[in-house]
């Protein structure tokens, strides 16, 4: 039912109990398959560069505003800068099997007053791509944000990045539209596709992700028995 004001105009639903959440502050998020730690150049840069170097080419950096990096020193400099950013909270993904850093992701555009936040800068080494750990890394960050009380969790990507768009839908995000000529990066235009997951969507998405991540959903070879979209 539409809410109307005293002038007969439709307005947004009232939020009498709304309180802005706190700024994300947890440095470690522990899961079954992986652990998230705040990114640190001394602890993670060398392992990450080595893990990324196992890729056969640089395609994983095509749609990112940075990279690829031609040396461990160059990557370490970027990590050192990213780790101290006040606008972006970068996390390293550590594989629970090996304890090594094998990927990164970050919280961006943190806006407690509006209850919105974005996930981005997702880079996964070949060894963690399409594994339970890569999905769990997303789950751990989602759970943390919604437990803090955020209302809106955003995912944005180059509209030509088919892999990122597919991943957003798989993880439960809803496509909201494309902002044309939204940015210029690496000397080219970017139309940005917007996706979001809302707090009232989260319980269903959380249940599906927890069901998919359960060890019973994988055979002895580690292959999934049911897909996340069907969970």
Q: Where are the domains of the chain?
A: 23-230
- Check residue 231 and give its pLDDT: 56
> What is the pTM for the complete model shown?
0.95
Q: What is the pLDDT of residues 99-120, one digit of tens each?
A: 999 999 999 999 999 999 999 9
Domain 23-230 CATH assignment equals 3.30.70.920: no
Q: How far apart are CA 126 and CA 180, in angstroms?
A: 31
Mean pLDDT of the region 21-36: 95
- 98 pLDDT higher than 90: yes
- Stretch 159-174: mean pLDDT: 98
Residue 86: its pLDDT value, please?
83
pLDDT of 82 strictly over 70: yes
């Amino acid at each position: 039912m539409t809410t109307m004001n005293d002038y007969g105009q439709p307005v947004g639903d009232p939020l009498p109990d709304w309180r802005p959440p706190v700024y994300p502050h947890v440095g470690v998020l522990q899961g079954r398959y992986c652990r998230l730690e705040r990114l640190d150049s001394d602890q993670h840069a060398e392992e990450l560069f080595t893990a990324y170097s196992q890729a056969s080419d640089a395609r994983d950096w095509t749609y990112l505003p940075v990279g690829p990096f031609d040396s461990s020193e160059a990557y370490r400099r970027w990590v050192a800068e990213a780790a101290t950013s006040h606008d972006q909270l970068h996390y390293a993904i550590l594989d629970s099997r090996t304890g090594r850093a094998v990927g990164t992701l970050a919280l961006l555009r943190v806006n407690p007053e509006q209850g919105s936040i974005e996930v981005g800068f997702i880079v996964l080494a070949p060894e963690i791509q399409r594994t339970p750990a890569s999905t769990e890394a997303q789950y751990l960050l989602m759970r943390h944000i919604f437990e803090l009380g955020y209302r809106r969790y955003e995912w944005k990507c180059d509209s030509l990045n088919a892999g990122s768009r597919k991943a957003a839908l798989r993880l439960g995000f809803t496509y909201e539209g494309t902002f044309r000529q939204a940015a210029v990066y690496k000397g080219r235009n970017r139309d940005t596709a917007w996706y979001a997951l809302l707090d009232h969507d989260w319980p269903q998405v959380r249940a599906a992700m927890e069901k998919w991540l359960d060890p019973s959903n994988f055979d002895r070879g580690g292959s999934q028995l049911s897909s996340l979209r069907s969970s």
